[in-house]
Amino acid sequence: MKKIEECTVGIAGLGLMGGAFAMAFARLGVPRERLLACDADARTLASAKDQGLVAEGSGEARLMLPRCDLVFLCLNPSSLLRFLAAHQGDFKSGALVTDIAGIKGSVVLAAERFRPDVDFIPGHPMAGSEKGGFDNAGHCDFRGKNYILTPLARNTKENLAFLEDLLRRMGFGRITRTTAGDHDEKIAFTSQLCHVIAAALVDCADDPSITRFGGGSFEDLTRIAMLNAPMWTELFIENREKLLEHLRRFRKSLDAIGSLAASGDAQALEKILRGVREKRSAMNG
Amino acid sequence: MKKIEECTVGIAGLGLMGGAFAMAFARLGVPRERLLACDADARTLASAKDQGLVAEGSGEARLMLPRCDLVFLCLNPSSLLRFLAAHQGDFKSGALVTDIAGIKGSVVLAAERFRPDVDFIPGHPMAGSEKGGFDNAGHCDFRGKNYILTPLARNTKENLAFLEDLLRRMGFGRITRTTAGDHDEKIAFTSQLCHVIAAALVDCADDPSITRFGGGSFEDLTRIAMLNAPMWTELFIENREKLLEHLRRFRKSLDAIGSLAASGDAQALEKILRGVREKRSAMNG
């Protein structure tokens, strides 16, 4: 692989994350003339070009892909799978490709069946913002964030090292390599279950003036309820088997605590809460 | 009421909140010789005196109370009720007294039955920190935080105005006056339900290394799981009727979202999530 400054980089999808990656590439010294983008939205493309962020933006991926040494696919899961099917022939031979989809089972399957002369390393940056879209890309901070890669057996050692080095230089903290199954299982808990909980908490609120009585807890628990509805609908449904199992376990814990409060069993309730405090402390970092 | 700088102020209970109020009084210019405290823990009292925060600290409230024009009772709900019963005779006639307990039904009942020559205004600062205790009092930031007062019919207009002015000068933002019933109903939702959810989420986690897969959601939802177990046990049990009703409604919303994910009904799920986003936006501020 060339040095990043010498690569032609393509970004497919200039949403919040695509925009944030474009900015990160610019900061790393990829010259504008080698930073290309495609997006379905003409206004977003015009805005990215006006800001001097990308040299060329097009609604047509096939104009960009044949020239790119490195491609970041910043699309929702379903759009990503359609994109891969439609544009398999357009990628440059020898290109390094990665994606950012929040579910990896179906993506890894598609990547394994992809053209063997293109090195596709599936990934998932654990970064984002409750303010979505390209206009908010500047709010998406990569510094210290986790990044999960679910490499294929056929990915080259060199490309994996290149991508990890690139992500670290963009500011990401811990980079974890794991399987798609393990990723989807863990993410169902740390991300999808948390978003379902936040959404349910807002859904059941009966008084919009409730924040006058807030001390930060409700605010902290529901910040992520400002979610991108189409994307999270896809993620919840695509990963439902694992999500529903975590939801079942969460309800069990919820009911156990509720029952102890109902019965007034202070000793047992206090024991659970002490255990929770210790467990959460041990999880830090 | 005198000016605050001329008052002798007593703080009963030098935990996180008692310590933070002591610091706030010092910042407002209450001279150290008129800032008194009592606490059951000799080490905490010594530490507060060593830091020059209070002039006198004692394990015996009856040494402090007869001299205090203003008393902040910074105790857990059950300790507060015991304190009021034990020390009713020790308060100075004409004193203004307030408390910080997170549940107000039982406190208001006790305050209404309290000595008529003492003006007891029940209150609840919506501030705190997941790091408890006097040593962390400096982490407890009052700026812009909500404060709820549940005044009695007999509280004087002058004392209410004095207390509200004092709290604003300490940095608190919105101060809301309401009934004990309304407070307990709203707090069961914004505070207690949120703490039960956070505790359940940590309780059901099966992998302590899960934070490697975190993007901030799990961290945001479980920061408050670092809870003071004895205090929250009291709050959950004391307010269980209202808490359990909110818990029932939360579970209903949780089940509705879970069922739509299970059935793969993308249209209905996306509609709920869009509604949640709008509702949460409208709640801001």
pLDDT of residue B82: 96
- Reported confidence tier of residue B38, pLDDT bands at 50, 70, 90: very high
The reported pLDDT for the residue numbered B178 is 97
Alpha helix ranges (H) inside chain B: 16-27, 42-50, 61-64, 77-87, 105-112, 157-169, 180-187, 194-203, 217-222, 229-238, 240-263, 266-283
Q: Are residues B58 and B118 in the same domain?
A: yes
Task: Between A57 and B92, name the one with better pLDDT.
Answer: B92
Interface contact B34, partner A, CB < 8 A: no
Inter-helix orientation angle B229-238/A266-283, to 10°:
130
**Residues of B in Cβ contact (< 8 Å) with A177:** none
Number of structural domains found in chain A: 2
What is the CATH classification number for the domain harbouring B86?
A: 3.40.50.720
Domain end among B139, B159, B178: B178
Q: Does A183 touch chain B (CB under 8 A)?
A: yes
Domain ends where: B178, B195, B213?
B178
Contacts of B23 (CB under 8 A, 6+ apart): B53, B137, B138
CA dist B203 and A279 (Å) reads: 8
B188 and B116 both lie in a single domain: no
What pLDDT sits at residue A212? 84
A50 touches chain B (CB under 8 A): no
Residue in chain A nearest B263 by alpha carbon:
A237
Q: In this complex, do B176 and A213 lie within 8 Å of one another by their Cβ atoms?
A: yes
Chain A positions in Cβ-Cβ contact with residue B222 (cut-off 8 Å): 280, 283
Q: For chain B, give the longest Cα–Cα distance.
A: 68
Distance CA(B124)–CA(B103), nearest Å, equals 8
| Nearest residue of A to residue B266, measured between CA atoms | A233
Q: What is the pLDDT of residue B198?
A: 97
Is the confidence at residue A1, as pLDDT, over 70? yes
- Per-residue confidence (pLDDT) for residue A253, from 0 to 100: 98
- The answer to which of A49-53, A200-204, B89-93 has the lowest mean pLDDT is A49-53
User: Model confidence at A39, in pLDDT bands (50, 70, 90)?
Assistant: very high
The answer for B 94-123 residues in CB contact with A (under 8 A) is none
Residues 184-223 of A with CB under 8 A from B: 186-187, 189-191, 193-208, 210-218, 220-223
Could you tell me if A20 lies within 8 Å of chain B, comparing CB atoms?
A: no
Could you tell me if A219 and A108 lie in one domain?
Answer: no
Pick the residue of A76, A139, A213, A235 with the most B CBs within 10 A to test the interface with B by mutation. Answer: A213
Considering A161, A178, A195, which residue would you say is the last residue of a domain?
A178
Give B181-223 pLDDT, tens digit per residue. 999 999 999 999 999 999 999 999 988 788 888 888 999 999 9
Same domain as B158, residue B266: no
Mean pLDDT of A149-168: 98
Say yes or no to pLDDT of A68 above 60: yes
Section A130-141 average pLDDT: 89
Partner residue facing B145 (CB), from A145, A215, A261: A215
Confidence of residue B242 (pLDDT cuts 50, 70, 90): very high
Interface contact flag, B126 A216, Cβ < 8 Å = yes
Residue B227 belongs to a domain with what CATH number? 1.10.3660.10
Mean pLDDT of A191-218: 91
Check residue B110 and give its pLDDT: 97
pLDDT at B215: 85
Q: What is the pLDDT of residue A183?
A: 97
Q: Is A153 on the interface with B (CB under 8 A)?
A: no
For chain A, the C-alpha Rg in angstroms (whole number) is 21
Q: What angle do CA B273, B249, A225 make, to 5 degrees?
A: 25
**DSSP code at position A155:** S
**A87/A107 same-domain check:** yes
Work out the pLDDT band at A260, boundaries 50, 70, 90. very high
Q: Which of chain B's residues have a Cβ under 8 Å away from the Cβ of A230? A: 270
Q: Residue B168 above 80 pLDDT?
A: yes
Q: Domain of A137? A: 4-178
Tokens read off for B146: 């909500």
Q: Which residues of A touch B127 (CB under 8 A)?
A: 215
pLDDT at B232: 95
Q: How confident is the model at residue B128 (pLDDT cuts 50, 70, 90)?
A: confident
Longest dimension (CA), chain A: 68
Q: Cβ(A106)–Cβ(A238) under 8 Å?
A: yes
Yes or no, beta carbons of B261 and A236 under 8 Å apart: yes
- Confidence (pTM): 0.90
Q: Please answer yes or no on whether A211 and B282 come within 8 Å at the CB atom.
A: no
B153 and B206 part of one domain = no
Q: Is the pLDDT of residue B285 over 70?
A: no
> How much is the pLDDT for B209?
81
> Measured between CA atoms, how close is A202 to chain B, in angstroms?
6
Interface probe with A: pick from B175, B184, B201, most Cβ of A within 10 Å: B201
Cross-chain residue pair A249–B206, CB shorter than 8 Å: yes
A194/A172 same-domain check: no
Helix (H) or strand (E) holding B176: strand B175-177
- HSE-up (13 A, CA, CB side) for residue A84: 26
Dihedral pair phi/psi, residue B60, rounded to 5°: -110, 110
